[in-house]
Structure 1
């Protein structure tokens, strides 16, 4: 039995896009962990950390969304990934607006929104990186 490696990269995303997409999930996860720490301790600085992590996550998600939009012109089959990234951006924006409120007023909604956005970011990252197969063994 003989196996042959066929190298095809028709679905791979650009390396810059991959690097930016790799930063989306850790920032949203950091905001979730900061919200959890605030929920457990009510130390206001944790709410500030979460708000700043959300700002960073929104900037990185915006760049990843721009890369996905540009990449969708050459690969129109990646529409599911683009829609999941748009959904992540919208939910993250709502979460950032919720975090702009007074620190005492954001709980428990901030924690619920952070869990939702982190799950959406996980799905978007998984869909984005699921195309990075360098070759297929036959």
Structure 2
């Protein structure tokens, strides 16, 4: 979905393939945190910590690609998407540290951070898609 004029086709393709993956992992971690709240089975919070770690690893390359394009004259919706996603990733790093503690210490801060990460990424993606749709339709 990156604006492709003056950008590498390989970079745009790689970005489009990898961009949705972290959101899926963070969303699954959020669901596991909610399940842990309901069941108190430690497996759920340990699984959530692994999902957060994998999501963070998968978030590195798309953020680097969008950082490069940010300095090459990205459109305003791409800049907003980048900054919201970056803020979500910073919160996810903090969340990974919270989830590394004892399972009982994860609640409520871990659930709150998981919720914020998912919400920020959803807002970033929705505003990006809606803005990109308006631009393509000729109504900037």
Q: Under a length normalisation based on structure 1, what TM-score does the superposition of the two structures give? A: 0.81
Aligned CA RMSD, in angstroms, stands at 2.6
* Equivalent residues of 1:21, 1:125 under 8 A apart: no
Q: Which has the larger helix fraction?
A: 2
Matched residue, 2:106 = 106
Q: Which runs of 5+ in 2 are unaligned?
A: none
Q: Under a length normalisation based on structure 2, what TM-score does the superposition of the two structures give? A: 0.80
* 1:1-138 correspondence runs (5 A): 10=5, 14-77=12-75, 78-130=78-130, 135-136=136-137
Q: Deviations over 1:61-83 (max 9, x none)?
A: 22221111012132333322221
* Equivalent residues of 1:88, 1:124 under 8 A apart: no
Larger radius of gyration: 1
* Pair 1:137–1:81, CA change in 2 (3 A): closer
Q: Which runs of 5+ in 1 are unaligned?
A: 1-7
* Pair 1:61–1:131, CA change in 2 (3 A): farther
Paired residues, number: 131
